[in-house]
Amino acid sequence: MSRIVNAEKKKNLCARLARIEGQLRGLQKLIEADADCEKIAQQLAAARKALDKSFFSMVGCMIEQGDQSPEHVAEMLTKFA
């Protein structure tokens, strides 16, 4: 099992997730306010891309740390990406 050990990378990932959390709260407000569906779709796409970027950032950390085999990283990418 792998963990993010670099404190700076962990902090950056948590900050990114906090921004995504804010995006999701904003989306909830848009929906509650009966905003235009295209505007909601645009914000959903932005949040999805932000989550994807977070995922790949985490995978990059795993690769840099070198504590998982390339096969395991590839398997994880196939399973979750």
- Give DSSP secondary structure letters for the chain: ------HHHHHHHHHHHHHHHHHHHHHHHHHHTT--HHHHHHHHHHHHHHHHHHHHHHHHHHHHHT-S-HHHHHHHHHHH-
Which pTM was predicted? 0.85
Q: 18-70: per-residue pLDDT in tens?
A: 999 999 999 999 999 999 999 999 999 999 999 999 999 999 999 999 989 99
